[in-house]
Amino acid sequence: MADTISEAEAANRLMRLAKEIARHDKLYHDQDAPEISDADYDALVRENRELEERFPQLVRADSPSKRLGAAPTTALAKVTHARPMLSLENAFSDEEVYEFVARVRRFLNLPPEAPVTLTAEPKIDGLSCSLRYEGGRLVLGATRGDGTTGEDVTANVRTIEDAERYALNGPIASYEQHGFGLYLVVLQETGEAIGVCGLVKREAFADADIGYAFLPDYWGKGYAIEATAATKSYAFEQLGQRRLLAIVNPENESSIRLLKKLGLGFTRMVRMSDDAPEICLYSSDRLA
């Protein structure tokens, strides 16, 4: 920011910054279509703050510095927070970090040169959310929004809770009870997760059955046969399983071909429940 900027120029720039920052807020928070990087956005906010500090008489009613977060999206119901949800500040230069440490010293009544121990960790960009439980049940989930009013995301939070509940009652419980379960499949070169594969113990069967699922981008590329073959070997050689099962829809020809490649043979048609359609049961015994 130029040191020689006049009050009139500052007023004009603050007007433009207020409009520009509000537009980017709407693009980012309401339309999920940002046009600039986080760093460029933060630079605009910082410029606005510096101008307001230099010309406090020019602070506008619609100043971005008076908002926390962004206005709630028009696509979701509005929720008024019981207590304001505050936000964190940024520091972009050594000078701003030094000033932050100086404020900490002043707050703690420490001498100007007293050492201050800090803990730093990577910032994970995500969603601030206020959750309210009544009687142990989730009744409301709301985003921060502008700090006073947020968006109702209760249904989204319940989906997350359902996923956590499945993980606890499904795979994690299986590991604890049986010593096996579903495992994440990742690319060796990059560590990118592409699917799951492992063993499932169903009440209807005495033996474990092999199960897998892959993201659509990785279908037909050999990952399923590689993962299921490794799972079969692990089941027989490491876990000591004597028999391995697999269930498959009779119309799923690709999975049937895969099971045959693994050495599993058709056993019989079965129903998982009285009103369920018949499916194919395949099996393979460990060689003595």
Q: Which of 66, 93, 108 is the last residue of a domain?
A: 66
Beta bridge partners of 140: 132
Element (H, E) at 140: strand 137-143
Query: How many domains, in total, are found in the chain?
Result: 2
Is 171 inside any structural domain? no
Q: Residue 47 sits in a domain of what CATH number?
A: 1.10.287.610
Range of weakest confidence among 44-53, 145-154, 222-231 = 145-154
Q: Which of 20, 39, 66 is the last residue of a domain?
A: 66
Q: Is 123 a catalytic residue?
A: yes
Distance CA 210, CA 231 (A): 8
* Beta-carbon contacts of residue 215 (< 8 Å; ≥ 6 apart): 194, 195
Its domain, for residue 236, covers 179-285
Mean pLDDT of the chain: 85
Q: Which of 23, 49, 66 is the last residue of a domain?
A: 66
pLDDT over 90 (residue 71): no
Distance CA 174, CA 198 (A): 11
Mean pLDDT of 272-277: 85
Element (H, E) at 276: none
> Which position among 19, 26, 123, 261 bears the catalytic label?
123
Is 129 inside any structural domain? no
Is 198 inside any structural domain? yes
Cα-based angle 78, 79, 82 (whole degrees, multiple of 5): 160
Is 108 inside any structural domain? no
CB 207 within 8 A of CB 241: yes
Distance CA 107, CA 116 (A): 12
Per-residue CA distances from 97 to 15, 44, 46, 90, 94 (Å): 29, 19, 14, 9, 5
pLDDT bucket at 288, cuts 50 / 70 / 90: very low
Is 145 inside any structural domain? no
pLDDT over 90 (residue 246): yes
Is 264 inside any structural domain? yes
Percent of the chain with pLDDT over 70: 90
Is 82 inside any structural domain? no
Tokens of 174: 């299986």
Q: Residue 227 sits in a domain of what CATH number?
A: 3.40.630.30
Percent of the chain with pLDDT over 90: 41
- The whole-number pLDDT of residue 156 equals 78
Q: What are phi and psi of 34, to 5 degrees?
A: -65, 145
Higher pLDDT, 268 or 166: 268
Is 250 inside any structural domain? yes
pLDDT over 50 (residue 96): yes
Please count the other Cβ atoms lying within 10 Å of the Cβ belonging to residue 177. Answer: 10
Please count the other Cβ atoms lying within 10 Å of the Cβ belonging to residue 264. Answer: 23
